[in-house]
Amino acid sequence: MSEDILLLDTDVETALRAAVRSLLNERCEPAAVLAAYAGDRSLTRALWKPITIELGLAGLLIPENRGGAGGSAREAAVVLEELGRFAAPVPFLTSSVIAATILLAGDSELVGQLATGECTAALLAPFSAATVEQIPTLTKDADGRLSGRVTSVAGALEADVLLAAVQTPTGTEVHALATSAVTAAPVVSLDMTRPLADITVDSVPGRVVVGAGAGLPALRGGLAIGAALLASEQAGVAAWCLDTTVAYVKVRRQFGRVVGGFQALKHRLADLYVELESARATARYAAGAIAAGDPDAAIATAVAAAYCGDIAVHAAEEAVQLHGGIGMTWEYPVHLYLKRAKADQIGLGSPAYHRSVLAGLIDLPLGRRSDDQ
């Protein structure tokens, strides 16, 4: 572990966090988020414009010489932690992190358009994809038109452009397709604040945005930074669950006393606090390692992705249980966080997958448990 990577916010990151939280406090009410489950996506459009235009965050990871803000993974992690805290239904992860990272490997003008918020992009891959081998490749006919089908794509419904992997004799290229030219069938998924869609591409023209020589590294890079920064979103989900639950048990009364005074609940919340602080530390270290180009970045990513997914789910489950009957209701927002946590848990690779990756990185043999162990 590098001692040069700070786990606390810098002054710039503190200001960024305050700006994002202020915006979301004003415009991302839980009732509006809940409307996504009725098919109302108006909040996405209402939030995405100020995030991209007023705060200028669409191009946060894009260098200034290419039209972006010139930020690093640390700043993107701050944004995602706040978006997770509000379960905000915006495509920052899919467009400004994963798609932007892939596009930076080429010289397409899409980079500048993404940076200014002129367009939004998404990788044409299942949200659960953790490796390039799990990204379906489209076929290309003699006229250069692309065809294929990809299921459970995150960010596609909000995207103007889809980035597709295309296998060629010289290697894997990344092509850009207009979303308007494909068929997108929305999927009823657990977390409707990050809707999925099945995409059918039928003889659609595309243009190369990352050449064959850089295609596979670009896709790997996009998935890796996506997994690392998704951990920050999961930490934000867990933080909201803990803060809201602590506030609730301080006022909820049972048997003539505040329920937060019961020792058993204090122990559960104290344990959750320790888990949350550990999740924040691992997520911030992963983002810092990527930002610094640290050799431990791959290990840090695997640790964060393996740990934070489970912690977010545990925090959401505890929030539901400790809120009692109100936690089970549709109107109360806790279920939004449980659904986001469960969906994120398998996004860009499950915790079990990332633990296996970590074992390989640190040369830890993977043994098989016997039935009597």
pLDDT class of 370 with cuts at 50, 70, 90: very low
Residue-level pLDDT at 182: 97
Q: How far apart are CA 172 and CA 183, in angstroms?
A: 23
Residue 149 has pLDDT above 80, yes or no: yes
Q: Could you tell me if 311 and 5 are in contact, meaning their C-beta atoms sit under 8 angstroms apart?
A: no
Residue 78 has pLDDT above 60, yes or no: yes
193-227 pLDDT, tens per residue?
Answer: 999 999 999 999 999 999 998 999 999 999 999 99
Residue-level pLDDT at 372: 43
- Region 250-269: mean pLDDT is 79
Residue 118 has pLDDT above 80, yes or no: yes
Per-position DSSP letters for 282-321, written without gaps between them: HHHHHHHHHHHT-TTHHHHHHHHHHHHHHHHHHHHHHHHH
Which residues contact residue 337 at a Cβ distance below 8 angstroms, ignoring those fewer than 6 apart?
87, 237, 240, 241, 315, 316, 319
Question: Rounded mean pLDDT of the chain?
Answer: 92
- Region 313-332: mean pLDDT is 92
Per-position DSSP letters for 194-221, written without gaps between them: S-EEEEEEEEEE-EEEE-HHHHHHHHHH
CA nearest neighbour of 47 among 37, 33, 34: 33
pLDDT class of 115 with cuts at 50, 70, 90: very high
Residue-level pLDDT at 371: 47
Q: How far apart are CA 122 and CA 184, in angstroms?
A: 13
Residue-level pLDDT at 190: 92
Q: Count of CB atoms within 10 A of residue 281's CB?
A: 16
Could you tell me which residue, 247 or 371, shows the higher pLDDT? 247
Count Cβ neighbours within 10 Å for each residue of 230-268 and write b for 16 or more, e otherwise: bbbbbbbbbbbbbebbbebbeeeeeeeeebbeeeebeeb
Q: How far apart are CA 23 and CA 359, in angstroms?
A: 40
pLDDT class of 8 with cuts at 50, 70, 90: confident
CA 263-265-266 angle, 5° bins: 60
